[in-house]
Amino acid sequence: MPSQTRRVAITGVGVVAPCGVGRDAFWQGLFRHQAIGDIRQLESWDPSPWFDSPKDARRSDRFSQFALAATAEALAQAGELDVDPAHCGVMIGTGIGGITTNEEQIVTRHDKGDRRVSPFLIPMMMPNAAAASVSMRYGFQGPCEAVVTACAAGTHSIGNAINTIRYGRADVMIAGGSEAPITPTALAGFRNMTAMSSSGVSMPFDVRRDGFVIAEGCGILILEEWDHAIARGATILAEALGSASTADAHHITAPAPGGSGAVRCMELALEDANVPAASLVHINAHGTSTPLNDAAEANAIAKVFGEQGPIITSTKGVTGHALGAAGALEAAAVVLAIQHRTIPPTVGLEQRDPELPPIDLVTDPEGRSWEPGPSMSNSFGFGGHNGSVVIGPA
């Protein structure tokens, strides 16, 4: 167990998402109806505001561009960090990394030959490119790592960053996840494995749910040792209380029956955060809209928290499933829900699956007002990766 003497503050949030670029636009987007279609993509993404020249932008894969944009917003909110660069680190996860560049360059080689392959292919496609880009942009010399655990990567990155601060390996961490997975071959693979929605609608926990809607985006949190944040006069948005990571050890894509791995992960996260199950107020669920995932997660939540459990939403009805960025976007949504004192709705949920336990899902389009308290964000990834992070009001 990590030392609890170093508390972890959240002092900045940055978001790039199809429903809104920037945390304010993202928050407003969480209350809108979703578009129809099996992808959620930023249709008019322009990276130029975050680069010195178009050439620099072209030498950065789309997922790294997202990370630089979201980090810039989060750092602007956090203010002057006043930290030794050796004590500021970066932890940005991804599920697939620079697949856009990878696929484009494979086509280039096939059509035009070896000599036309970009010399920037490797540094652009590598999964650690986003974390490395942020580190180099700002001169942060502390731990700089990329977690690659499929759809749990963003949550695991935040959890690892929390512990990095707790253990004293850094005073500030830029943490989150970034993903730009929408390429022709990736889409073909997901469609052919029948993971994606054939209706083009994400319907978390709905009896009609038929798969996820794939998305791209990035969520970044600025995590900071509590006393360091206080000393520099920072505005503390929320507190990162704890996290956990487990493996199902069951199947490469399907969750363990009854959500047993998720149960253990949530229980360990509560223990790590020193929060009793009865005190947890809200969960931003993984809620992908796949038949097996939603059933496993709903049963796991009911087992851990009972019938009078926390208020639950899945924001993927709007955002779609951004794979390795999903958990970071949802952790950002939890922080914003605390700030706005409103839990956003589970957009797409119209006919609750009667086979699921009666968990308390937010269905009102206006969301639900609440008294902010300890909250959890869940992520579960292909390979049986489970991640939970617990966040509370400042």
User: Which residues are identified as catalytic?
Assistant: 151, 286, 321
What distance lies between CA 386 and its chain's CA centroid? 13
Provide the token pair at 234.
């920072």
Contact 375, 284 (CB under 8 A): yes
What is the C-alpha to C-alpha distance for residues 3 and 320, in angstroms, rounded to an integer?
A: 36
As given in the structure block, the two tokens for residue 218 are: 């990035």
User: Considering all CA atoms of the chain, what is the largest pairwise distance in Å, rounded to the nearest integer?
Assistant: 63
Q: Residues 327, 373, 275, 266: is their CA dihedral positive or negative? A: negative
Residues 6 or more apart whose CB falls under 8 angstroms from that of 328 comprise 93, 154, 155, 157, 158, 175, 176, 177, 178, 218, 219, 220, 221
Break the chain down into helix, strand, coil percent, rounded to 5.
40, 20, 40
DSSP 331: H
SS3 of residue 355 by DSSP = coil
Nearest-CA neighbor of 38 among 237, 213, 156? 213
